[in-house]
Amino acid sequence: MNPTPVQPAAMPQTPDPRALGRVAVLTGGASAEREVSLMSGRGVLEALRSRGVDAFAFDPAERGLHELRDEAVARVFIALHGRHGEDGTVQGALELLGIPYTGSGVMASSICMDKVMTKRVWVAEGLPTPRWVWLAPDDHDREQLMRVPDELGLPLIVKPPREGSSIGISKVEGYSGMSDAVQLAARYDRDVLCEEFIDGIELTCPVLGRGAGAQALPVIRIEAPGGNYDYEHKYFSADTGYHCPSGLPPDEEAEVQRLTLAAYRALGCRGWGRADLMLRAADRKPFLLEMNTSPGMTGHSLVPMSARAAGIDYASLCLRLLNDATLDADV
């Protein structure tokens, strides 16, 4: 299957802002990614208002979601990241309230938030992802930890499977680093994911739409100082390099887009998403790392950057996502 990259001419007509009704931008929340979510929410809110949308900010950490009905909200733009925002819980509440929302539905959001479950789906679909070992809470004894490098090799990656933004992630270079890495990840999640390290080029590829009509945006190649694309380098550092166009050969760009679309559809995603991948240096094979169902919309965020390369400005992107807001029951 050939990828279907977004072309400016293929974009739908801009919706009438008045037809969108009163809009709540969900921002902040109680996850470890609250700070990033607040930045995303500010950007989305400003963009929607600049296009004449009757939008306001709503922080679920400060107000109950039932108040959305009191505000006569017609639809919701989810600018939350992490738990209680990107994991299906807010989506489920909005389903019960009957308020259409942006992004994936309850099941896809829940699966994508859990990197272990995501990998299981991808493996079942024959899609490439790095080998991994899942450590349950009672599997953190020294003997068990020492087996992990034997199975995955060194270096390897240790991360909490239900966090994003590189929170709690470590690169382990030797056996002695396993305990500290697992302890760090366990601060954020009861389970720990240990993953084969793929030496190569870090890539990301956004997707817009749903089902057969989903379209891959241009691929972004990421160059972080020392190859360390951590929380600081993602959101606050000016030293991280982002290349869009990616500079990859056309056939490699097309393969990354094809793989991203396959991964997105296999998980049942809709609205929008962004796959993170590694392109292995040894053989130029791409590997899927994770699927983000509520990607960042900050000044450093990658979906707006890729959309811009496809001829879609930030405000138009926000309007398109909002116009696609829906409920599971309506799909």
- Ranges of each domain in the chain: 8-102, 111-127+199-323, 132-196
54 is catalytic: no
Q: Which two tokens stand for residue 149?
A: 């490098």
The CA distance from 177 to 157, in Å, is: 11
Alpha helices by DSSP H, listed for 32-114, are 34-50, 67-70, 89-97, 106-113
Kindly calculate the radius of gyration of the chain based on its CA atoms and give it in whole angstroms.
19
Please report the sign of the dihedral spanned by the C-alpha atoms of residue 7, residue 240, residue 225, residue 34.
negative
125 is catalytic: no
Burial (Cβ within 10 Å: 0-12, 13-18, ≥19) of residue 199: exposed
Predicted pLDDT of residue 165: 59
Q: Catalytic pick from 276, 294, 314, 320?
A: 276
Q: Catalytic pick from 104, 292, 294, 323?
A: 292
Please name the residue that has the structure tokens 């887009």: 257
Residues in the chain: 331
Low-confidence ranges of the chain (pLDDT < 50): 1, 4-11, 229-231, 233-236
71 is catalytic: no
62 is catalytic: no
Predicted pLDDT of residue 1: 44
Q: Catalytic pick from 29, 33, 109, 209?
A: 33
> b/e string for 288-301 if b means 16 or more Cβ within 10 A?
bbbbbbbbbbbebb
The CA distance from 191 to 134, in Å, is: 7
* Closest to 243 in 3D by CA, of 311, 176, 319, 305: 305
Predicted pLDDT of residue 13: 62
101 is catalytic: no
Predicted pLDDT of residue 8: 40
Predicted pLDDT of residue 9: 36
Q: Catalytic pick from 82, 85, 177, 296?
A: 296
- In angstroms, how far is CA 150 from the centroid of its own chain? 30
Burial (Cβ within 10 Å: 0-12, 13-18, ≥19) of residue 96: exposed
86 is catalytic: no
Q: Catalytic pick from 235, 253, 271, 294?
A: 235
191 is catalytic: no
The CA distance from 38 to 87, in Å, is: 17
**pTM score of the predicted model:** 0.92
Please state which architecture CATH assigns to domain 111-127+199-323.
Answer: 2-Layer Sandwich (3.30)
Task: List, edge to edge, every strand of the sheet that includes 156-159.
Answer: 132-135, 192-196, 156-159, 170-172
290 is catalytic: yes
Which CATH number applies to 8-102?
3.40.50.20
Q: Catalytic pick from 40, 165, 246, 294?
A: 165
Reported as type and span, the H/E element at residue 223 is strand 220-223
Q: Does domain 132-196 have CATH number 3.40.190.10?
A: no
Q: Catalytic pick from 163, 195, 290, 324?
A: 290
- Give bridge partners of residue 195 from the DSSP assignment: 132, 157
Predicted pLDDT of residue 228: 55
Predicted pLDDT of residue 267: 98
Predicted pLDDT of residue 172: 96
Q: Catalytic pick from 83, 210, 274, 320?
A: 274
Q: Which two tokens stand for residue 266?
A: 């296999």
